[in-house]
Structures are given as structure tokens and as C-alpha cells.
Amino acid sequence: MAKTLFLGARIWDASGAPAFEGDVLVENQYIRAISRTPGQLTAPGATVIQARGKTLLPGMTEGHAHLSFDAATSTEDLITPPPEEQTLATARGAKALLDAGFTSAWGASEAKLRLGVAVRNEVDAGRLPGPRIRAGSLEISVTGGMGDESRLHNPRKGPSIIIDGPEEMRKAVRLCCREGCDNIKLDVSGDPFYPNTPAHLTPMAYEEIRMAVETAHALGRRVNAHTRSIAGTQACIKAGVDVLYHLEYSDEQTLDLLEEARERVFVVPTVSLFHTIVNNEAAPYGLSAEVGARMGVPALLEASSKTHTALRKRGIRHVIGGDYGFAWSRNGSNARDLQFFVDYYGYTPAEALRCATRNGGAMMGIDSGQKLGQIQEGYLADLLLVAGDPLADLSLMTQAERLLVIMKDGALYKNRCAA
């Protein structure tokens, strides 16, 4: 039996209680025992980690992963690479997340249908390093919606399946399920990157969304929705969508509906894309703050701040992450979201970390029944040992060299602590 004993750590267990000093014993993939008195636990044959002065916390979950987005600068970068190169890039994306302390990744969409599936299978088999993955699908969109790159004079395939009507939706969802995707991604609303259908519009019809949910749930899968518009978000809640992405525009009625559904849905705001554009971090790639302003990005960022601050107060289960994988917000820098949650949505650092750990863990275990995302006896041992106190300085979570130990499923993926 593989055992690891963390001695004298400052334990932040994500339950909402303050950190305390103690020991944690891991046996096989589970947290077996926690002692609030350091030195009480012994385990012959265990790997011992002297953790005094360091912070032990649960591994993080990325709530909207694009493992195959390899520093993309445009949709062209998703469409044109050969599948062989994209498969390798997806494997690198998975490793980048685990290296950054993300022991779980909830897949949004991938550039090709089976990229997330193939890498998930390799990681599960222990042949590639990566987080616990729920594989995302291709985007499912409608004619003229986000992801429809085709025009009459230039027919071409985007990183999407284009459907019109419930029957075509049923077929697309079944296809994604047949090929092994865990999560089905719908492009419900418009998007600032698609001028024909701006963010406040809702190209996908309720009947299409409802069919996607019925089909996915019948096959034991979950549905993610790209929804920035009020009508889109209301349709998603009514149709039973499980995970809502972006969600910038809202009104009182929408906030009420979300609050009523808060035990059922998870919400991932994906603020990074807009933050980086507004702060000119995407300028070297042709997407300056000025270009972003013409696309309406500052207004969307303001709307995001308003909506998600209100949702925080209503107790919604927010999860960090989203839309990392672009050149200006690469896979591996996802923990920047922690500070964004403080700056834009008014979370305390501890609450932002709970969005990353406790809420993310609840999301990942939704169908498996596995308990993860907290340091409690019987929970999966996904743990991070951090040099310093991330509750006092969230930027520590973005510094790979500060992550001294990364444990997933009870296995030491990284251990920079001398015994």
C-alpha cells in the first residue's frame, strides 16, 4: 500500500474553516487521516514530507479547459494544424495544467472532436502526465452562430459542428457521446469575435438546447453552454444545462433564476480573455486594447463584473478558469483567475481558492460520486504543498517553483521537499 505522510503542514482544507497546523496521511489514492496535533500520526514505510512552514491545500480544478488550444491567436490556429501535431499539443496542454497545480480539468471544447478523449484516456492509463480530465467535445453551433466559419463564397469548416433544428442537434450530441466526450459544448449566444452575432444575441433556439440536454443526460453526459446573452442564459436554465460559461449580461429575473438553480448548476465566468485584452497583453498578437474596445470588450468586462459580483452574493457555485490556451493567456497560467475573482467579483482570497478547490471538486465528482476538492478523510488525495501562504498572496499559486509538491490520486507527481 502506497503511503505518504505530510508532517507539520499549515493545512487549509477548503471547508471554510481557518487553516490549522497538523499532519495528513495519504493511503493509496485517498486521504486516510488528518491530525490537528502535529506528530500524532505515524505510518511505517510511508514517504515522509516535512511540511513545516508550508501550506497544504487541495489541488485546483480548471472549470473550462481547452487542452488543445496551443497558444492560439485566431480560430485559424484551431482549424489548420494537422491532427498529429494537435494531439501532441493537447498532451502538452494537459501537462501544463498539472504542472500549474490543476489536478482536475473540466473540458469545455477542443479543436477536434477526439483530442480531449484521446489525451484523457492516456492520462487515465498512466501513460501521460495530466490532470483528471473530463473530455470536452467540439463546439456545437448553428448556421451563422459562433464557430460557423463558412460563407457561400468560401465554404470551410470551423472548430464546430453546425446544426439546425432539434433532430440535427440530437445526432451531433450522440456523435460526441459515441466518440467518448464527457461534456457537450453548446454555443448558445453570440460572441464579440463573431461580428454577425454579437454577444447579446441568441442564435441557438430553446428547442435545440433542450434536445441537447435530453440527449446528453440520457447518455450520462453533461452540457456546457457558452452564453453571454440574457435570453441565452434563461433558455439554458429552463432547458437544464449543467454548466454556464461567460454569462456577462443579466437582469433581476435572470439572477433570480440562477439563484433558484444554484444547487444544480456551476458557473465559470472566464474573465481572463477580457482582462488580458483590456490590459493590452494581447497587443503583440494583433489584439490591442484599442481593437478590443471596438469589439466591445470593456463593456463585456464591466457586465461580467456586475453579474458575477451579484451571483457571488447569491451563493452561486463559481469555478475558476476558462479560455486559457491563447497566446496571451496560455495553458499553465490559469491560476491568475484567483486574483481576477478578487479584483472583479469581490471574493476574498480564501473564497477565490474555494471556487478553485471545493467548487471545482464538487463539479468533477458530480457523476463519479468521488469526493474531491477538500482535505477531508475519505477524499481523493489531490494535494498541493506551497512554499509560503497563498491566502496572503494569491500570486504564489501562479509560480510553478512555489508548488513544492503536486499530488494527484495519492501519487506524487512532483516532490521538491527533502524527507
Q: Which of residues 288-347 bind Zn ion (CB under 5 A)?
A: 323
Nearer to Zn ion, 68 or 339 (CB): 68
* 19 in Cβ contact with 9 (< 8 Å): no
Q: Which of residues 378-407 bind Zn ion (CB under 5 A)?
A: none
Nearer to Zn ion, 274 or 379 (CB): 274
Contacts for 287 with CB less than 8 Å, ≥ 6 apart: 73, 277, 328
Give me the DSSP letters along 170-203: HHHHHHHHHTT-SEEEEE-S--TT-TTS-TT---
Nearer to Zn ion, 208 or 323 (CB): 323
CB of 66 to Zn ion, least distance (A): 6
| Nearest Cα residue to 105 out of 140, 137, 131, 69 | 131
Which span sits near Zn ion by CB under 5 A: 55-63, 105-113, 310-318, 398-406?
A: 105-113
Which span sits near Zn ion by CB under 5 A: 53-61, 100-108, 230-238, 275-283?
A: 100-108
Which span sits near Zn ion by CB under 5 A: 102-110, 122-130, 185-193, 370-378?
A: 102-110
CB of 248 to Zn ion, least distance (A): 14
CB of 270 to Zn ion, least distance (A): 6
Q: To which H or E segment does residue 309 belong?
A: helix 297-313
Nearer to Zn ion, 51 or 265 (CB): 265
Helix and strand totals (H; E) in the chain: 13, 17
Interface with Zn ion includes 409 (CB under 5 A)? no
Distances (CA, A) of 101 to 28, 60, 307, 413: 20, 6, 28, 10
Nearer to Zn ion, 129 or 322 (CB): 322
The torsion of the CA quartet 306, 311, 313, 318, rounded to 10 degrees, works out to -120
Q: Which residues, listed in sequence order, are joined to residue 140 by a DSSP beta bridge? A: 161, 186
Contacts for 28 with CB less than 8 Å, ≥ 6 apart: 1, 2, 410
Closest chain position to Zn ion (CB) = 323
| Nearest Cα residue to 75 out of 281, 330, 326, 279 | 326
Nearer to Zn ion, 248 or 323 (CB): 323
Nearer to Zn ion, 11 or 135 (CB): 135
Give me the DSSP letters along 337-383: HHHHHHHHH---HHHHHHIIIIIHHHHHTTTT----SS--TTSB--E
Contacts for 17 with CB less than 8 Å, ≥ 6 apart: none
CB of 151 to Zn ion, least distance (A): 23
CB of 281 to Zn ion, least distance (A): 17
Which span sits near Zn ion by CB under 5 A: 103-111, 179-187, 280-288, 385-393?
A: 103-111
CB of 257 to Zn ion, least distance (A): 23
Q: Which of residues 201-230 bind Zn ion (CB under 5 A)?
A: none
CB of 108 to Zn ion, least distance (A): 5
Please tell me the count of residues contacting Zn ion according to CB under 5 A. Answer: 2
Give me the DSSP letters along 19-38: PEEEEEEEETTEEEEEESST
Which span sits near Zn ion by CB under 5 A: 42-50, 78-86, 104-112, 258-266?
A: 104-112
Nearer to Zn ion, 64 or 120 (CB): 64
Nearer to Zn ion, 245 or 344 (CB): 245
Nearer to Zn ion, 70 or 323 (CB): 323
10 Å Cβ neighbour count for 78? 24
Q: To which H or E segment does residue 217 belong?
A: helix 206-218
CB of 366 to Zn ion, least distance (A): 20
Residues that bind Zn ion (CB under 5 A): 108, 323
